Structure 1
Amino acid sequence: MEKYTPLRTATLKPKSIYYPLHIRKLIKHKKKLFKEFKNSNFGLDEYIKVSKTIKHLINSYKSQKIKSIVSNTNRIYKYMKNISQKYSPIPCLENDNIFIFDDKTKCNLFASVFARSFSNLPTFDPPELTPCKFMHALDDIEFNLLDIDNILKNLPNNNCCAEDGISYTLLKACHSSITPFLSDIFRLSLDTGIIPQSRKVSYITPVFKKGDKNNAENYRPISITSTICRVLERIILNSLLIHLEENNIISQNQFGFLKKRSTTTQLIFTFSHWYKAVLESKNIDCAYIDLKHAFDSVPVRFLLYKLFNIGIRGKLLNWISSFLTDRTAKVKINNTFSNSFQIHSGVPKDPYWDPSYF
């Protein structure tokens, strides 16, 4: 790529709102009027008139857009995030009364903090599990070109890259050309249980949570992993969820991270039980539990044992074992990286992968 592809450095600007054609034409006309006024000192009144018209049209457009999304909570959050999102650089950090300004030392400090979340290796054996009843074991999956192509076409427009340097944007743009090759690569990887080490490296970006911004403990890790591996993960996860549903392995009391289930259905279920208890004059005891670093602290050995117990066997279990072990990570701030560190627990960050395995 370095030899045959011309490279240049680009400065990314925040996305501006894409206005309708009639507003864009007026903005273009306004720029033309300003240029004429600058050269001849005439046309100021017309320029002011057009400016006011544009301002009125933009305000009307924004109001209509807000009205169109008020019925959809997800669209509201997305809209608010887009108009308020600002890049906030990592400030100077304080550690043992020492102030840290350079990115390399910041990266290594974050690495030491995050590494503690991934080092929960249990010293005891997994608890004995009641064998699950399933109709058949899941030891292999078939790769369908149409499924792979659909996943690639629906990838987000994101240019973030991990160690392999391949972004979602690149995969999405080349989806029709690379689908057959990816299918062959996925088949070979699953049959052999081999995953290149570069695909098991995560880049971690620290994101501020709350509290003191100068304290590294108040940041959470956001991992960027191999995009190609994420496509394969999605295919495997879909097959795994179908296996769980067909064999009724998922508890009826599980409402999170499942299709057709949500916090709303969970609340309806809970309130119906509470209402029944109130009518029968029974006491109601409620316990809310929050697990710290829940997804990051899942013991890999326990997870593999649980997967075996629910019928995941053969080459599929071997691939998942290879995927979850011998992983490493680096913290990235700007273009600076920390020293690499081992990840001994948890699963790679993915909106579907890590909650499902948890």
Structure 2
Amino acid sequence: QLFQEMQQNDRLPAVVKNSWHQCCMLSDRPLQLSHTDDNASSANANGASANGTIGAANVACAGPTIEQRPLIITESDVRRVFKRVNTRKAMGPDGICGRVLKACADQLAPVFTDIFNLSLTLGIVPSSFKRSTIVPVPKKPRPSGLNDYRPVALTSVVMKCFEKLVRDFITSSLPASMDPLQFVYRHNRSTDDAIAHLLHTTLTHLDEGRGNYVKMLFVKYSSAFNTIIPSLLTTKLGDLGLHTSLCDWISTFLTDRPQSVWVGNCASSTLTLSTGAPQGCVLSPLLYSLYTHDCTATSSSTIIVKCADDTVVMGHLGQRREGLPGGD
């Protein structure tokens, strides 16, 4: 009834009506639309016929040694995350805008709670949630090549809310054995703490001996999120104790992702990717930090400080030691 009232309200913008249309499609509720867009249907059919497959793989999650509890999302969780949506963020390919989710959180929370829990139980992420539109954003004022652009993924606002709930659960379930020198998604830690730690250890080592000195290597990875191999990630997540169903869900989240590129008013054909984590997704930084959590120093004179994909390798050296230890 609420949907029909909104469709008949001429004062509502078309984007709001379209968002309700997409919500009803996701919830499998009957629709009565006053018009259809033949051009959009033709474009959709054309994009579907051009699908390709890149790096598809079927992966299975390794059994964890100490398995955590499964994630069960409550209606209050969904309502809370919907009401905190930033309405100024761009909508994704599904056409559902954040303004509708925020304004109608009470009405939509029960429906999406069922959808989210069913997705987690089955270990399957709907294709409409994984679809993304890539918008190249220039890294410099006058880009001269493709490497001068940063690919930013516009994904479903609903999926971003879903990812936030999954992210909060994972961060609360991480074991105490995690690398203490990873400073993202750790309680009461930030980049300021990473800088303070580097400065403190440097000054402490220099004060210990007159001939002591420090060498630092600052590492910045190119397209770091694209290097994630889903099968290897799910194995590591299982070793950390995450529930098997959540490992399977993350594997599905990262594989068979349809995407297209928009440049101005031009769109590319759709490709299906099964490797890496897209920039712009809420889970990507956390997944990358878990993917590299076992990248630690093997020598007491070397430390590796990480903030997601930003890494510093520090060697504490003396008069008789030149260069970093060979093992590191």
CA contact (8 A) 2:135 2:151 kept: yes
Residue matched to 2:181: 253
What is the one-letter code of the residue matched to 1:250? M
CA contact (8 A) 1:162 1:227 kept: yes
- The count of corresponding residues between Structure 1 and Structure 2 is 244
Q: TM-score, normalised by structure 2?
A: 0.65
Counterpart of 2:218 in 1: which secondary structure? coil
1:303 aligns with 2:233: yes
- Offset of 1:164 from its aligned partner? 1.5
Residue matched to 2:107: 177
CA contact (8 A) 1:138 1:243 kept: yes
1:236 aligns with 2:166: yes
Distance 2:218 2:187 in 1: 23
Residue matched to 2:138: 208
Aligned partner (choices 209, 213, 218) of residue 288 of structure 1:
218
Q: Which has the higher helix share?
A: 1
1:264 aligns with 2:192: yes
- Offset of 1:224 from its aligned partner? 0.9
1:324 aligns with 2:254: yes
Q: TM-score, normalised by structure 1?
A: 0.60
Counterpart of 2:213 in 1: which secondary structure? coil
1:354 aligns with 2:284: yes
Deviations 1:304-336 (A, max 9, x none): 111111112322222111111111211113443
- Offset of 1:209 from its aligned partner? 0.5
Gaps of 5+ in 1: 11-114, 123-128
Residue matched to 1:276: 204
Does the C-alpha gap of structure 1 residues 334 and 270 become closer, same or farther in structure 2, counting only changes over 3 Å?
same
Distance 2:251 2:123 in 1: 9
CA contact (8 A) 2:119 2:126 kept: no
Bigger shift: residues 136-145 or 318-327: 136-145
Deviations 1:267-318 (A, max 9, x none): 2211221111111122212111111111122112211111111112322222
Residue matched to 1:80: none
CA contact (8 A) 1:211 1:218 kept: no
What is the one-letter code of the residue matched to 1:236? V
- Offset of 1:259 from its aligned partner? 3.8
Does the C-alpha gap of structure 1 residues 270 and 213 become closer, same or farther in structure 2, counting only changes over 3 Å?
closer
- Offset of 1:140 from its aligned partner? 1.4
- Offset of 1:338 from its aligned partner? 0.8
The root-mean-square deviation of aligned C-alpha atoms, in Å, is 3.3
Residue matched to 1:152: 82
User: For 1:11-160, what aligned pairs fall within 5 Å after superposition?
Assistant: 136-138=66-68, 140-158=70-88, 160=90
Deviations 1:91-149 (A, max 9, x none): xxxxxxxxxxxxxxxxxxxxxxxx9xx97899xxxxxx9x98x7x41251121222221
Distance 2:89 2:214 in 1: 50
Deviations 1:48-101 (A, max 9, x none): xxxxxxxxxxxxxxxxxxxxxxxxxxxxxxxxxxxxxxxxxxxxxxxxxxxxxx
What is the one-letter code of the residue matched to 1:251? D
Does the C-alpha gap of structure 1 residues 259 and 350 become closer, same or farther in structure 2, counting only changes over 3 Å?
farther
- Offset of 1:212 from its aligned partner? 4.2
Q: Which has the higher strand share?
A: 2
Does the C-alpha gap of structure 1 residues 313 and 204 become closer, same or farther in structure 2, counting only changes over 3 Å?
same
Does the C-alpha gap of structure 1 residues 287 and 315 become closer, same or farther in structure 2, counting only changes over 3 Å?
same
Does the C-alpha gap of structure 1 residues 211 and 121 become closer, same or farther in structure 2, counting only changes over 3 Å?
farther
Q: Percent identity?
A: 26
CA contact (8 A) 2:91 2:97 kept: yes
Question: Which structure's CA Rg is the greater one?
Answer: 1
Does the C-alpha gap of structure 1 residues 167 and 9 become closer, same or farther in structure 2, counting only changes over 3 Å?
closer
Distance 1:289 1:217 in 2: 18
Gaps of 5+ in 2: 16-51, 289-328
Distance 2:141 2:173 in 1: 43
Counterpart of 1:286 in 2: which secondary structure? strand
CA contact (8 A) 2:67 2:242 kept: yes
Distance 1:152 1:8 in 2: 20
Aligned partner (choices 234, 242, 255) of residue 312 of structure 1:
242
Counterpart of 2:86 in 1: which secondary structure? coil
Residue matched to 2:120: 190
Counterpart of 1:302 in 2: which secondary structure? helix
Distance 2:264 2:141 in 1: 23
- Offset of 1:261 from its aligned partner? 1.3
What is the one-letter code of the residue matched to 2:177? I
